[in-house]
A and B are shown apart, each in its own frame.
Chain A
């Protein structure tokens, strides 16, 4: 009797406050790229909680989360930056911060949201609470004020941000510990860096290069050592295959002291030992890899592929370095996201208009969730990880 009374009371209370008390650690968002909307999802229930619309052009969108994991900051292709409240399930604020944007990051202390822009090329910082702009750092290069497209933005300890310049072929680190006085260091990196990652400890910043066979690595603990090339000449002088979609790099490629990286123009995943920075293997895969992602425990690596052969996903065993499974979740698999401890992986299957949730132990689908032209899937656990 008393329990049921308490239950009714709690229901009433929650009705009054508008939000039933709940955590947000198992929430996430799915981008509906063609409709400018996101679906708020719950990975415990494997269910959609709400749909939030009016976020602009999300044809390339990425998301970071506030450190309390309540707010999602969505960076749209059109330069829009939207703040979505996952608990109230609504768009809280939206600013148009650039003409063409590719993503963003959140500072170590959670106070700054930083956007990386193609047009105008550079980064901009905003207060997390108000989205007020507090810094604008153009990616100028050369002598005539040209600005480069910025890729691969990652947060580093100390409210610093590392990024690469596609047109200028540089890596830069901007210190925003005092946003009114940004301090930027720069290094030559190589031809056409297309994306980058920082390792989960925040130490190594690695940019993939489109214009040459190799990657550019900066040890941010010893930046005075400069940029070092890794995997130089991995193409072995062979003509590269056409790349119909650029691979994406993020800090999830690390497993067992090795990095697993997509080759460019080769249907291979490259394996690098992080002690020696030498290649220790390459794994032939179906097509041009796009995302090469370690399950959070590092026991296996999941790989998806570029257009036009993009309806498969392959799983690599990190002990044997072999492919153990080839799955076919549906037509056009754009993105994958593991739950924080890796028992599920959510796959967006764009042309089937659904998200398919797989059990990573059995490799069988657990659930299908409808979504319009889904692309990125982002879970709030990213809030607690460097480089996300």
Chain B
């Protein structure tokens, strides 16, 4: 969101700010560039898909569909992505993802993860 761009009517800024407030963490990944988003979609579909399935219906890893995750908070998902789940096969991805990217992935998972083009 370009809320900081100069010259925009102030009302837009306010509306955008309010929207940001309401959707909270779901939009925390807005600073992930579209090119990086495509890479992340590829990563999740293909490489997370090795355990969770290309359709994210699950495999050795748990299903990651929006339905399966509906009661999970985005923060928790992002933390699992970054730090893994000790005692399970879920590894930490912090060596290749930053906080904003993990939040972006979590938000997309909760909405129903995009397909690769």
Contacts and interface: CB of A to CB of B under 8 A. Distances in A.
Contact of A100 (B46, B49, B53, B89): B53
B50 A77 contact: no
Contacts of A243: 89, 91
B95 A118 contact: no
A252 B111 CA distance: 43
Interface in A142-178: 149, 151, 166
A246 B89 contact: yes
B47 A245 contact: yes
Interface string A270-285: 0000000000000000
Given A194-B89, A242-B84, A149 B50 contact: no
B13 interface: no
B23 to A, nearest CB: 31
Contacts of A244: 47, 50, 91, 93
Contact of A307 (B47, B53, B87, B89): B47
Nearest to B115: A34
In the complex, which range does the number of interface residues on chain A fall in? 20 to 34
Nearest to B46: A350
A373 B54 CA distance: 12
A171 to B, nearest CB: 17
A263 to B, nearest CB: 15
Residues of A contacting B: mostly? loop
For A59, A102, A119, A245, the residue with the greatest tally of chain B CB atoms inside 10 Å of its CB is A59
Contacts, number: 66
A139 B26 CA distance: 39
Contacts of B59: 60, 77, 100, 102, 118
Contacts of B51: 245-246
Given A59-B54, A308-B96, A166 B60 contact: yes
A192 interface: yes
Interface in B81-107: 84, 87, 89, 91-93, 95-96
Contact of A118 (B47, B50, B55, B58): B58
Interface of A: 33-34, 57, 59-60, 77-78, 99-100, 102, 118-119, 149, 151, 166, 192, 194, 210-211, 242-246, 307-308, 332, 350-351, 373
Give the 10 A-B residue pairs with the shortest CB-CB distance, closest first.
A59-B54, A242-B91, A307-B47, A245-B50, A59-B49, A59-B53, A77-B53, A57-B55, A244-B91, A242-B92
